[in-house]
Amino acid sequence: MIVTCDSGKGGIQLDRECKVVDAEFGGMKWTVTIERDRDGGYSISGRGTGIKVYVSRVTGGYLVSIPGLRRCGTVPGGCTYLDIVKYCDLENRVDAVTIAAAVRFIVWDLNKRERERK
């Protein structure tokens, strides 16, 4: 079953196995797949990029940890690729755009789960 919802960042398709969002940069557009792992992290893939990330709410934003690249940083909830480049010290823009698209969805999902618990 696929559900379409809007987080204010465009259409997001949510399916039981994985989440699919769109990323766009410099006139190019690609699909980003987000899978929640059993350890609480997320496997992100899109445009030749496969990255494991962890996202946690902290004071002032969200801590994004990218262990495979040995990078982490605190970004705002509605982060852009520039936030990922700046705060996570990531040089590859395609990776940064892919991660930012996924992080925006993950933040939306974390907030949704938190609201449902209340």
Residue 42 in contact with residue 35, Cβ under 8 Å? yes
- pTM metric for this prediction: 0.82
Please name which of 110, 84, 85 lies closest in space to residue 19, comparing C-alpha atoms.
110
Please name which of 46, 50, 80 lies closest in space to residue 66, comparing C-alpha atoms.
50
pLDDT band (50, 70, 90) for residue 110: confident
Please name which of 3, 92, 4, 102 lies closest in space to residue 46, comparing C-alpha atoms.
102
Residue 2 in contact with residue 13, Cβ under 8 Å? yes
The C-alpha R_g of the chain, in whole angstroms, comes to: 13
pLDDT in tens, 59-104: 989 999 999 999 999 999 899 999 999 999 999 999 999 999 999 9
> CA–CA separation, 84 vs 73, rounded Å?
8
pLDDT in tens, 24-64: 998 999 999 998 888 889 999 998 889 999 999 999 899 99
